[in-house]
Chains A and B, each alone.
Chain A
């Protein structure tokens, strides 16, 4: 089989942000392969410099509309660790609930709007509204409920309002939480149907061993909290994160790439699943079985299935958070005040993987230095490597099909390109 192919996907669709895929195959060999990131850089490091510590979360949330709760949370956690602020139990539960909402919303958006059209060989969810109205309605309903969680806690899903350094400055009404619990309980039926749907789709057979990095918490499945953990050499301290993850620039991308001493690694739902599957709610573990997702899975296409499994877990988690919040009570409180200023780190699991914010705040409470490591930037090297290894396995297919398959591989990673171009790299001295 000696085939030549020039595959050029200008602006991959149904991913967040702007990127191109360029693959040249000569005589069955990949000669050129790039995932070009053409998104405009946004210079958040420059934007944040000189701003006050309590403006950081508002500014950094604007890195990404989809994972705004994650950026806001990583930001307030970094500020809180730099200023010695402690937050109340209630504030923490509220933030965790907002996380459930965001990750659910992000996964549902990805699975229904971005991935599902591939399985039906259509270009978007729009034709499905006509051809499969019940499926489209299921997706829209699940997405709406996820948004509602964020609205109840943060005021809105895109750029949450109430998450502040030192606490959460708004409390939901008990009625809102009770209604939410009812809606969440009712949503399992739709989630089960979604699993049925995904059970029926064929997943390309493609394995490639790699390192999986995610947080791991002392208790529970990690989203809001945990320490970095590698599938290859266990625990990585928070302070060592920037030593383990090395970022570098490549000419074809406005986002940086990253590697560890083991080379290529992956972050995101599949990495979290592999590193934390024992912590999943039993119902989510059952879902994994049905979806043929096994711990240690290294097929990046299965990231979709891992997201779906997390949706089940997060729905259970959100219900239990509502119960705990009602128990703790919903008295309003003002945020804690800074006790000192210095350097701090905030780490969370964003929907697409481990997110790292680090700030240095001066004596006047102004931010002097910023460093962020964004999930998608950590995955870019892995996506490129997979593209190269995957494309040679499908060279005998028609060009259109090859193009569609490589696009769906990129999509399975759920890259968030506009996020990834906001990489800021400043050496801390």
Chain B
């Protein structure tokens, strides 16, 4: 007989984002019935009313963009033994950091006009990834995440292993998928420096890689910029493709706690 072990308790939290990564979790329709046998989901505001502050693994979606969120995030770190960044917003700051191109006060004014002083938006700060505030144990990249990577991360955790994060560029997957390189038709692509793991899905579906999964650990940025230039792209379009997902300026912190 299999010994009964305590089921791990999972919690999902959401900060500044589109909640698309949580939705990818809910899109695991086939796996869902089995999943809830193996783990207890104790906190998932978007899908359940039950709430508990007693959990082992916290999946955190979204960037941090208000002082109030910092407090909540630190609280989560204290309670969870494992914190996993769910998606680009949370792991690299993602698209949210685009607004950091403007000072906070100006961004508020652009959106809310003369009502920018409204109490609820007062404590807005520059958008940042969660690891600029707390220590993060694992990252699931992408905007949105893929459900395969969510499931494989969960599986690794259940087996007590460290989840694997690919560290080769999207180009490798892209070639395996049999795509024609978009540079051939004069488009820009972030594939050469972007972390793989999505099967180069955007190129397969007719688009370009926008760089949503962040860069590989040691991206050869100079060579990449050189390639972009070689294909006749202007300095402007080079910066443009680099800062869509790479615009975050608030750096990763070291050490747990403060």
Contacts and interface: CB of A to CB of B under 8 A. Distances in A.
B197 interface: no
Interface stretch (B17-25, B130-138, B150-158, B223-231): B17-25
Contacts of B32: 129, 140
Interface string B26-40: 110110110010000
A170 B17 CA distance: 27
Contact of B205 (A45, A46, A162): A162
B175 interface: no
Nearest to A127: B50
Contact of B120 (A124, A147, A252): A252
A224 interface: no
Given A52-B240, A144-B30, A124 B49 contact: yes
B18 A13 contact: no
B15 A123 contact: no
A13 B48 contact: yes
Interface in B110-145: 110-113, 115, 118-121, 124, 143-144
A40 B73 CA distance: 14
Interface centre among B18, B205, B240, B244 (most CB of A within 10 A): B18
A65 B23 contact: yes
A318 to B, nearest CB: 18
Nearest to B243: A51
A154 B19 contact: no
Contacts of B210: 58
A126 B33 CA distance: 8
B19 A43 contact: no
Given A40-B65, A68-B20, A418-B18, A253 B120 contact: yes
Interface stretch (A23-31, A109-117, A341-349): A109-117
Contacts of A252: 120
Contact of A425 (B36, B47, B112): B112
A168 B207 CA distance: 10
A126 B48 contact: yes
A62 B61 CA distance: 13
Interface centre among A65, A113, A125, A140 (most CB of B within 10 A): A65
Nearest to B118: A249
B159 to A, nearest CB: 23
Interface stretch (B76-84, B96-104, B160-168, B214-222): B96-104
Given A117-B49, A253-B120, A124 B44 contact: yes
A155 B48 contact: no
Interface string A405-429: 0000000000000100001111100
B49 A40 contact: no
Given A63-B18, A162-B206, A13 B51 contact: yes
A158 interface: yes
B177 interface: no
B202 interface: yes
B29 A140 contact: yes
A159 interface: yes
B47 A47 contact: no
Nearest to A113: B47
A218 to B, nearest CB: 30
A68 B48 CA distance: 22
B99 A47 contact: yes
A38 interface: yes
A144 B29 contact: yes
Contacts of B207: 161-162, 164, 169
B66 interface: yes
B250 interface: no
B238 interface: no
Given A13-B51, A14-B46, A140-B29, A38 B120 contact: yes
A51 B118 CA distance: 27
A380 interface: no
Contact of B124 (A15, A41, A62, A68): A41
A46 B20 contact: no
B205 A155 contact: yes
Contacts of A16: 19, 46
B69 interface: yes
B256 interface: no
B26 A113 contact: yes
B110 A124 contact: no
A65 B144 CA distance: 8
Interface in A91-144: 109, 113-114, 117, 123-126, 129, 133, 136-137, 140-141, 143-144
Nearest to A155: B205
Contacts of B108: 43
Given A64-B19, A161-B207, A123 B202 contact: no
A254 B121 contact: yes
B253 interface: no
Interface string A1-41: 00000000001011111100000000000000000011011
B36 A129 contact: yes
B170 interface: no
B36 A126 contact: yes
Nearest to B210: A58
A39 to B, nearest CB: 8
A62 B120 contact: no
B41 interface: yes
B22 A65 contact: yes
A246 interface: no
A129 B29 CA distance: 12
Given A42-B16, A65-B22, A126-B36, A14 B99 contact: no
Contacts of B41: 126
The 9 lowest CB-CB distance pairs between A and B, nearest first, are A65-B20, A169-B206, A124-B48, A155-B205, A123-B49, A170-B206, A161-B205, A46-B107, A123-B50
14 contacts: A13-B45, A13-B48, A16-B19, A43-B110, A46-B102, A46-B107, A58-B244, A66-B20, A109-B26, A124-B48, A143-B27, A159-B144, A161-B202, A170-B204
